[in-house]
């Protein structure tokens, strides 16, 4: 007879593991027996004549796996499988004559506390890493306010706070009992993280970041305007303009938006030194709209000009 299989795509937070157990028990009652449990989907086989009760244990590191499984076998538990992150699935044949205590793998509160403690340790590490990364990005954000860093910092803080909030449920059986099953909460959380991290990376890649070196002779000792350094801005944000310009005579630097002719930044070098006068700009913040921009050097009377600039 051809065996019938079913895959159920459903994910649970670690603090909602009891909801997953209820789902596995319901599937077994309907004749679908667990073949392989997983973080995002589980595999079942149709065997209507059997019925099981299920339990989960979180134990990422086991020195003696054989001894560990033997301990459960002695209590009537059949090992199903393990996930990559350390969750172990067990099942026991259901007998309505047996008391409910027979289907508990944690026979006392200390055992359950030990299991939740192991997961809470991992959660605290994840929270600490996320907060540390958020702090680093926050420093960069304070120095150079930019949209990608703002999104990344907010996403990291959201991740840390959400996991810390869930850890409170993991440590409190009373709070867990009152939680309703939400089939989409894990996917919404993962989607929020994907959108946050993904948009931050995408926006950073879309930022114009370039440096240009120019050295040459312009003009003939008469006033001139040099139009050069065209670049495009993909989205509205703070940008940071740096330049080191050496010239034979005073000049004015203008950053102009091509579509409107609007000058969004200007800086003048008024006096000349004994040699070539120079203008040094370091991370001058300029708020730019989406569009095309050019750099203009105006009222220049000399010939020799050397420019090194960047914007990011």
- DSSP letter for 248, please: S
Tens-place pLDDT, residues 13-27: 988 888 999 999 999
According to the CATH classification, is domain 210-311 in 2.60.120.40? Answer: yes
Q: What is the pLDDT of residue 169?
A: 77
124-153 burial code (b ≥16 CB/10 A, e <16): eeebeebbebbeebbeebeeeebbbbbbbb
- Sorted by where each begins, the domain ranges of the chain are 5-101, 110-206, 210-311
pLDDT band at 158 (very low <50, low <70, confident <90, very high): very high
User: The tokens of 11 are what?
Assistant: 């994910």
| Length reported for the chain | 312
pLDDT at residue number 112: 65
Sheet of 5-9, strands arranged across: 5-9, 41-46, 32-36
Q: 108 falls in which pLDDT band (50, 70, 90)?
A: low
Q: Does the pLDDT value for residue 160 go beyond 60?
A: yes
Using one digit for the tens of pLDDT, what is the confidence trace for 66-104?
A: 999 998 899 899 999 999 888 999 999 999 888 888 888
State the pLDDT at residue 118.
85
Burial class (CB in 10 A: 0-12, 13-18, 19+), 306: middle
Instruction: Please give the DSSP secondary-structure letter assigned to residue 173.
Output: H
Q: What is the pLDDT of residues 243-294, one digit of tens each?
A: 887 777 777 888 999 999 899 999 887 655 555 567 788 899 999 999 999 8
* Joined tokens for residue 165: 């909030």
Report pLDDT for 62: 86
């Amino acid at each position: 007879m051809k065996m019938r299989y079913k895959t159920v795509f459903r994910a649970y937070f670690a603090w909602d593991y009891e909801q997953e157990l209820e789902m596995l028990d319901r599937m077994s009652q309907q004749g679908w027996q667990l073949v392989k449990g997983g973080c995002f989907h589980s595999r079942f086989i149709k065997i209507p004549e059997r019925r099981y009760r299920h339990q989960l244990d979180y134990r990422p590191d086991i020195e003696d796996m054989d001894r560990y499984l033997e301990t459960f076998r002695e209590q009537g538990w059949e090992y199903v499988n393990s996930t990559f992150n350390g969750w172990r699935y067990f099942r026991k044949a259901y007998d309505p004559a047996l008391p409910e205590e027979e289907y508990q793998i944690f026979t006392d509160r200390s055992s359950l506390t030990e299991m939740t403690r192991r997961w809470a340790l991992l959660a605290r590490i994840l929270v600490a890493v996320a907060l540390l990364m958020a702090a680093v990005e926050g420093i960069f954000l304070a120095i150079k306010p930019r949209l990608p860093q703002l999104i990344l910092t907010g996403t990291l803080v959201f991740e840390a706070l959400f996991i810390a909030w869930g850890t409170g449920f993991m440590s409190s059986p009373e709070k867990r009992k009152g939680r309703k099953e939400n089939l989409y909460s894990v996917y919404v959380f993962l989607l929020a993280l994907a959108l946050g991290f993904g948009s931050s990376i995408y926006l950073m890649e879309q930022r114009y970041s370039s440096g240009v070196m120019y050295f040459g002779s312009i003009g003939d000792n008469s006033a001139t305007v040099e139009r050069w350094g065209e670049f495009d801005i993909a989205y509205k944000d703070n940008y940071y303009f740096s330049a080191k310009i050496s010239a034979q005579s005073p000049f004015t630097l203008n950053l102009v938006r091509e579509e409107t002719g609007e000058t969004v930044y200007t800086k003048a070098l008024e006096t000349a030194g004994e040699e070539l006068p120079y203008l040094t700009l370091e991370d001058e913040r300029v708020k730019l709209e989406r569009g095309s921009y050019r750099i203009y050097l105006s009222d220049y009377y000399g010939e020799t000009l050397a420019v090194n600039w960047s914007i990011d």
